[in-house]
Amino acid sequence: MEEKIIKTEYSEVMQKSFIDYAMSVIIARALPDVRDGLKPVQRRTLYDMHELGIKYDKPYRKSARIVGDTMGKYHPHGDSSIYEALVVMTQDFKKGLPLIDGHGNFGNIEGDGAAAMRYTEARLQQITQEAFLADLDKDVVDFIPNFDETEKEPSVLPAKFPNLLVNGSEGIAVGMTTSIPPHNLAEVIDATKAYMQDESITIEGLMKYIKGPDFPTGGIVINKDELLDIYTTGTGKIKVRGKVDIEKGKAGKTSVVISEIPYPMIGANIAKFLLDVAALYETKKTQDIVDISNQSSKEGIRIVIELRKDADVDNFINMLYKKTRLEDTFGVNMLAIADGRPETMSLKQIIKHNVDFQFEVATRKYNTLLQKELDRKEIQEGLIKACNVIDLIIEILRGSKDRAMAKACLVDGKVDGIKFKYKESKIMATQLCFTEKQANAILEMRLYKLIGLEIEALINEHEDTLANIYRYEDILARRDSMAQVIMNELDEIKRNFKRERRTAIENAAEAVYEEKKIEEMEVVCLMDRFGYTKTVDMATYERNKEAADAENKYIITCKNTGKICIFTNTGQLHTVKVMDLPFGKFRDKGIPIDNISNFNSEKETMILVTSQTSLNLYRVIFATKLSMLKVVDGGEFDVAKRTVAATKLQDDDEVVHVAILKDQRNMVLQTADGFFLKFPIEEIPEKKKGAVGVRGMKLSAKDFIEHVYYTGPGYENNIDYKDRSLDIGRLKISKRDTKGNKQR
C-alpha cells in the first residue's frame, strides 16, 4: 500500500489536537449534564449496577465487582476514578441525596478515606431505582455504543427531578470549572412545579421555593441578599458559617460547641480548623482557651472549646469567624453541559432544561406505552372475536394440515386443503379476516382461556386497555395533561424522599472582634547556638543572668510588642514578632528560629541579631567579603515584610560583618592574607539599603575580608592574631580604599 503523507502546519495540528483533548475532558469526563446532573462516570456506574441487578431491595455486592464491570463495559479509565465516584455517591455528608447505599467503611466527614474496594459493598438507593433508572426499558432516552461498540449505554439517565440542583456538582475541566451547591429536594420540586405552571416566573419567584443552598453539613448562609444575583448570573460566592452553641460548664466556665460546620470544611479542613484554634492560643491572639476537644461521632459534629470563666464569649466567637474557617465561602459557578456544550446557567435555566427533558422523556415513554396498548388492543379484540366463533376455529384447526394452512385461513379466508365437517363452516371460514398478530395469538391460545371466567377477564382487560389508550392519547395530545402527570410523579418523589432543610438562610453582620491590647513590657530574648529562642521577663533574666550569659549566643533586651531582626550572610533581613516567641520559664527549651521565621539555618548564617528598637535609634554598618562598605539608617529596616534585602551584593560576595553604629571611631579591616587597614568611620558614606556601597580596601587576587574590628571608647584594642596578641590601637590610621599593611 502506497504511503500517503499529508503536509500541514505544526501549529494547526497542535491547536486541533488540544481542542479535541479539551472537549473530550469537558464533555466526557469533568462536567455534569444539566438533564440528569451526572458526570459520565457516575451515570455509567449507576447504569452498570442497574444492569447487574443490584437494586435497593437486593443484597449488597462487592464494590470491586461493580468497578470492574463498569470499567470493562463502559468507562475505560482508571479503577480509582470509578471507585471514587461510587464512594462520593454514598456519602451523605457530601451529597444532598445519596444515590448509592454503601455497606462498610466509605470514609467520614473528617477526611478519612474509604476502605479499599475489595472490602466495601454497595447497592442502589430506592430513589435512584425509581427516579433515574425505572423507565429505561420504555425507549425514553437514546442508547449509544460504548467505547469498543460491544455494548450499549444510555446517553443520559431519565432523571425525574433537577438532580444537578439537589446534589450539586464539582469538577475541573480544561480551562473551566463547575461548582454547584446542593439544594433541598422538596424545595427544588416545588420550584420545578411552579415553573411548569408559569414558565414566565422570575428567578425571584423561584426563590420563594428555593431559599438557597441546603448543605448536608448544615451551617448558616449569611449573605441572603446576594443569593438573587448569584442565582441570576450563575456565579458568585456564598458565605457559610458553622453553627455555634454556648454551654455552661463546671466552675462557671463556658464552652463554645460547634455542632455544624461550613460545607467547605469537610475533610482534612476539620483538622486544620482545630490547629488554627490552637494557634490562636499559641500566638497569643487569645488567652481565653482552656481546652479543645473533638467529640464528633457517627451522630454528628461536636467540637468543644472550653473557655476561661471571665472570657468574652461573643468576641471569641467573632474571632473564630475571622481567623479560622468557621466562616468560609463556597464559590458558585453553575456550569454544566447543555445541548452538547458547556454553559453557565441561572437557576431558571437549569430548571427549564430539566423540565424540557421531562417532557421529552414523558413523550417518548407514553408513545411507547401507547403502542404497547394498541398492540394489546389488537390482540384482545382478535381473541374476543375468536371466542364468538370458537367452534369454527376449532374445526379449522382440526382440518388443517399445518400451522401455515390454519393461519392463512384465519387471515385471508383461504380454505384450500382444509377438511370441514359442515359445508356452512367452509362458507363462514372464507369470511374470516384476522390480522397477523391476532392470528398468531389465536393459534397460541390455550384451551383454559375458553372458560367463562377467563373470557370475562379478557373483556375486562380489553376495557382497561381502551381506558389506557384514551389516557395515553390525552397525555400526548395535551401538554397540560402531560404536565400534570409529571407533577404527580414529582409529588410522589417529594412525599417519599423529602427531608427537612439543614442549612439556615439569613443576613448576618460581618463578624467584628476586638483584639485585647497587650500590656507592653520589657523582656529579654534568649537564643542559643542551635537557634532555639525564647523570651523571659527581666526579673527572671536577672535571677539567672550568669547561666543565661553562658548558655546563649544572643541576648537581646526588647519590648514584647516589638520585633527581633536577623541579618544574614546572604544580605537578607528576617524579622520575627516577639509575641511569636514562647514566653515562660528560664529552663524552657524554646522554639527553633527556623520554625517561626524565613531564616534557613542550612543555607544562611546569622551575622547580627538585634531588636527593631535598637535599629530605629542608630545607624547600621555593613562590610562584605569583597570589601564593600556602607552605613544605612536603621529606620530603613522598619518594614512590615518578614524578609527583605538588607543590602545589595555583587556576584560571589557575602556579608561578613553587620554592626550597630554607636561610638566607634575607627574601623579596622583584616584580610585572610594578613593585611590590616585602619581608617576613620566618617570615610564610609551613608547609603540606602538597596545600594552596594563603596570599596573599603584594595584586595589582592583571591584575598578577602576575614574580620572587622573597631577602636574607640569601650572597645578592646588587643586582638588574637597568629597565636599572639596584636594591639590594633597602634596601627597607623590610613585612608579608605588603600591596600593597608601586612602584619607578620
Report how far residue 248's alpha carbon sits from residue 47's, in angstroms, rounded to the nearest whole number: 52
Q: Choose, from 119, 195, 532, 715, the residue flagged as catalytic.
A: 119
Residues 547 and 679 in one domain: yes
Q: How many other β-carbons are positioned within 10 Å of the β-carbon of residue 500?
A: 7
Q: Write the CATH number for 633.
A: 2.120.10.90
Residues 558 and 706 in one domain: yes
Least confident of 207-211, 222-226, 394-398, 456-460: 394-398
In angstroms, what CA-CA distances link 12 with 5, 7, 22, 159, 174? Answer: 16, 11, 15, 40, 19
Q: What confidence tens digit (pLDDT) does each residue in 71-116 have?
A: 999 988 889 999 999 999 999 999 989 999 999 999 988 888 899 9
Contact 195, 347 (CB under 8 A): no
Range of the domain at 105: 31-156
Is residue 220 situated within a structural domain? Answer: no
Residues 736 and 598 in one domain: yes
294, 325, 356 - which closes a domain: 325
Is residue 488 situated within a structural domain? Answer: no
Q: Is the pLDDT of residue 240 over 60?
A: yes
Spatial strand order in the sheet of 532-537: 554-559, 522-527, 532-537, 591-592
Is residue 308 situated within a structural domain? Answer: yes
In angstroms, what CA-CA distances link 116 with 98, 129, 528, 629? Answer: 20, 25, 49, 65
Is residue 311 situated within a structural domain? Answer: yes
Contact 178, 335 (CB under 8 A): yes
Q: Is the pLDDT of residue 168 over 80?
A: yes
Residues 736 and 597 in one domain: yes
Q: Is 721 a catalytic residue?
A: no
Q: What confidence tens digit (pLDDT) does each residue in 267-323 have?
A: 888 888 998 898 888 777 788 888 899 888 878 899 999 998 888 888 899 999 988
Residues 152 and 284 in one domain: no
Contact 100, 89 (CB under 8 A): yes
Q: Write the CATH number for 251.
A: 3.30.1360.40
Residues 152 and 247 in one domain: no
Give 685's DSSP letter. P
**What pTM was computed for the model?**
0.74
Q: Write the CATH number for 151.
A: 3.90.199.10
Query: Checking DSSP bridges between strand 220-221 and strand 504-505, what pairing results, if any?
Result: parallel
Q: What confidence tens digit (pLDDT) does each residue in 525-565 have?
A: 999 989 999 999 999 999 999 999 999 999 999 988 899 99
Residues 539 and 638 in one domain: yes
119, 139, 156 - which closes a domain: 156
Please give the full DSSP string across 226-270, using - where no structure is assigned: GHHHHHHHSEEEEEEE-EEEEEE-GGG-EEEEEEE--GGG-TTHH
Residues 580 and 723 in one domain: yes
Query: Checking DSSP bridges between strand 303-307 and strand 169-172, what pairing results, if any?
Result: unpaired
> End-to-end distance of the chain based on CA atoms, in angstroms?
90
Is residue 213 situated within a structural domain? Answer: no
Q: How many domains does the chain have?
A: 3
495's grid cell: 412525599
Please give the full DSSP string across 499-542, using - where no structure is assigned: ----SEE-B-PPP--PPPPP---EEEEEE-TT-EEEEEEHHHHH
> 443 burial class (0-12, 13-18, 19+ CB within 10 angstroms)?
middle
Residues 152 and 249 in one domain: no
Residues 148 and 293 in one domain: no
Is residue 140 situated within a structural domain? Answer: yes
117, 133, 156 - which closes a domain: 156
Residues 124 and 267 in one domain: no
Residue 25 confidence (pLDDT): 54
Is residue 257 situated within a structural domain? Answer: yes
Q: What confidence tens digit (pLDDT) does each residue in 176-189 have?
A: 788 999 999 999 99
Task: Please report the beta strands in 425-511, taking only residues with DSSP state E, as ranges in sequence order.
Answer: 504-505
Residue 656: strand, helix, or coil: strand
Is residue 418 situated within a structural domain? Answer: no
Spatial strand order in the sheet of 254-260: 243-248, 254-260, 303-307, 289-294
Contact 581, 524 (CB under 8 A): no
The radius of gyration computed from the CA coordinates of the chain, to the nearest angstrom, equals 43
Residues 150 and 251 in one domain: no
